[in-house]
Chains A and B, each alone.
Chain A
Amino acid sequence: MIYLDHNATTPVSNEVLQAMMPFFQESFGNASSFYKPARSARAAIADARNTVAECIHASPGEIIFTGSGTEADNLCLRGVARAFYGREIHIITSSIEHHAILNTCRDLEEQGVRITRLPADACGRVDPDTVLKNITDNTVLISIMYANNETGVIQPIEAVSEIARKKGILFHTDAVQAFGKIPVSVEDLGVDLMTICAHKIYGPKGAGALYVRKGTAIAPVITGGMHEMGMRAGTENVPAVIGFAKAAETAVASLDETSVKVGLLRDSLENRIKETIDRVIIHGSEARRIPNTASISFAAIDGESILLHLDLREICASTGSACATGSSEPSHVLRAMGVSPIDAASTIRFSLGRSNTSEEIDVTVKALQEIAGRLRSISSIHNH
């Protein structure tokens, strides 16, 4: 199997699995309890919090562990909205965000929060000037992702955070796809809130975190016990938290080496596809991108048909995230960039990881040449 879908998820690495194992049966205690197996779980969570904080240059008290990146996004948007309850609230976000942000914003909109969704340019970037232009007296939060999950395009976070700071508005970034692939420092970025998660960096599924800068106005969404400093009730998923910390530590420690290796493979994949298959478009290639992601459209062929042919050859990739739901809606990210519906429907996302090899890239390029030829020969919109 050739796995080229690391932006969807990654396998749990051996070292992460080993770090997690003691917390299923030995140190299984409820971290809130009194006795020894509980105290060791409690101490391990504290260590994990330190580790994750260090990875993003934050303080341990600023890390709230959640059950996923999606939950962290929800906590941020709903939690900030709740903290400003009773006021007229305006939130600025972008049209290329993950559904965790977009659908939560839509829900808040139905509850009376005003939402502005900024467009992206043809390269897949949000223009910081549009952020400035859309700020009103009621704007309490700006949420712009760090790196886009479909195109890999890196957003101008520093520029937006400068605007937010000057205007005294909270700024959140969803850094789920950036974390572990490029340096992510809350100090350098100047963000007030930031989402990260474990399963994109060889950690377990079911573990995410929201960084909340000390003093930020936010209220809990899940209430109950005083877990996570009262910001996220529920008995801690101790093994997942420990696995998250191990994965984060490893990803950050080997970031330069891994990203260069993966980036060379990604560039080789893109270049060889461009050289050997006609009528391809590489989305976002003019912009700064995380080094593992390639979003490529193959003219006149439906993306899902390419995916199934790849799948039959045991090569795993994906189309735009919207297709996961089974809807035939072309990717909202590509549409927001002005990509035509046909080119959006013809797009495949390849997202590489540290275990990929140049041999795998060879096999994939050869497969794509054959698949493109085959599907174009039966395509009703392909001109020979």
Chain B
Amino acid sequence: MSKQKDNTLNSQADDSDNEQHDTVDAPVLFYNDIVIEHFTNPHNVGELLPDETDGFALVGDPTCGDQMKLWIKVEDNTITDIRFKSFGCPGAIATSSMATDLAIGRTLEDAASLTDDDVIKALGGIPENKRHCSLLGITALQQAINDCLLKRMIEPE
């Protein structure tokens, strides 16, 4: 189809989002209680000291929205501690909190397979226009895991 401007009603909605979102049935208009609880009392907030840190990630760009830092500690291939800090909207803070909850105690491979849909499902849905925020925590987690794997690759056995 040509990229010509579509002047029909609802064309904007169609343009902005063609993905199928089957995680939630009805459109979510505001943050639910689970999201608000994770926002007001986020889990795993803080930083790990350099000698406790096996993987680190800095994602997002504060000049165009949210930014997040995430630290992981790994023992026996399992994430045993995880911390984050975030400059972001309630959606970014709550999804980061939930992403760290889901990751802790998992093996690196298992944690790396987590998706933003897993985070959204665990939170019972987030407003449609906040879906992009949910990517931040997962992206940071995956990058911190990669950081950890790369370090291992470089270090001698």
A to B CB contacts below 8 Å, 14 in the list: A301-B87, A304-B90, A308-B36, A309-B40, A326-B127, A341-B63, A342-B62, A378-B42, A378-B85, A379-B86, A380-B68, A380-B84, A380-B87, A381-B62
> What residues of B have a CB within 8 angstroms of the CB of A305 in the complex?
39, 88-90, 93
A342 to B60 alpha-carbon distance, docked (Å): 12
Residues of chain B within 8 A of A382, CB atoms compared: 87
**Is A341 a contact partner of B93 (Cβ separation < 8 A)?**
no
Taking A304-B89, A342-B63, A381-B62 as given, write out 20 further A-B residue pairs in contact, using a Cβ cutoff of 8 Å, ordered by the A residue number: A302-B66, A302-B87, A302-B88, A302-B92, A304-B90, A305-B89, A308-B36, A312-B40, A326-B128, A326-B129, A327-B129, A328-B132, A341-B64, A345-B62, A377-B45, A378-B85, A378-B86, A380-B58, A380-B62, A380-B85
In the complex, the answer to whether B86 meets A308 with C-beta atoms within 8 Å is no
The smallest C-beta distance from B131 to any residue of chain A, in angstroms, reads 11
Tell me if A340 counts as interface (CB < 8 A to partner B).
yes
Interface presence of A241 (CB below 8 A): no
A300 CB-CB contact with B under 8 Å: yes
Using an 8 Å CB-CB cutoff, how does the interface string of A208-244 with B read, 1 for contact, 0 for none? 0000000000000000000000000000000000000
Shortest A89–chain B CB gap in Å is 21
A300-B87, A302-B89, A379-B87 known; A308+B63 contact, CB < 8 A: no
A49 to chain B, nearest CB (A): 35
Of A305, A341, A377, most buried by chain B (CB within 10 Å of CB) is A305
What 9 A-B pairs come out closest when comparing CB atoms?
A326-B129, A380-B85, A304-B89, A341-B63, A380-B69, A381-B87, A308-B90, A378-B45, A328-B65
- B39, chain A: closest CB distance, angstroms: 6
A59: shortest Cβ distance to chain B, in Å? 39
Contact A381 B67 (CB under 8 A): yes
* Chain B 77-98 interface residues, beta-carbon cutoff 8 Å to A: 84-90, 92-93
Can you name the residue of chain A whose Cβ is closest to the Cβ of B93? A305
Residue of A300, A308, A312, A377 with most partner-chain B CB within 10 A: A308
A128→B66 CA distance, assembly (Å)? 37
In the docked arrangement, what's the CA distance between A340 and B69, Å? 21
Contact surface of A with B, Cβ cutoff 8 Å: 300-302, 304-305, 308-309, 312, 326-328, 340-342, 345, 377-382
**Could you say which of B36, B86, B92, B132 has the most chain A C-beta atoms within 10 Å of its C-beta?**
B86
Q: Is the interface of A mostly helix, strand, loop or mixed?
A: loop
Q: Across the interface, do B63 and A380 meet the contact criterion of CB distance under 8 Å?
A: no
- C-alpha spacing A300/B87, complex, angstroms: 7
**Distance A345 CA – B60 CA, assembled complex (angstroms):** 14
Q: Give the chain B neighbours of A302 by CB distance below 8 A.
A: 66, 87-89, 92
CA distance A377 to B47 in the complex (A): 11
Does the CB pair A340–B63 fall under 8 Å?
A: yes
Residues of B within 8 A of A304 (CB): 89-90
In angstroms, Cα B128 to Cα A32, docked, is: 46
Known contacts: A302-B66, A381-B62. The answer to whether A308 contacts B87 by CB under 8 A is: no
Bound Cα distance from A308 to B127, whole angstroms? 14
Report the Cα distance A379→B69, complex, angstroms: 9
User: Which chain A residue shows the least CB distance to B132?
Assistant: A328
Distance, CA A301 to CA B88, complexed state (A): 7
A328–B31 Cα gap in the complex (Å)?
Answer: 16
CA distance A327 to B129 in the complex (A): 7
Q: Which residues of B contact A340 (CB under 8 A)?
A: 63
Q: Could you say which residues of chain B place their CB within 8 Å of the CB of A327?
A: 129
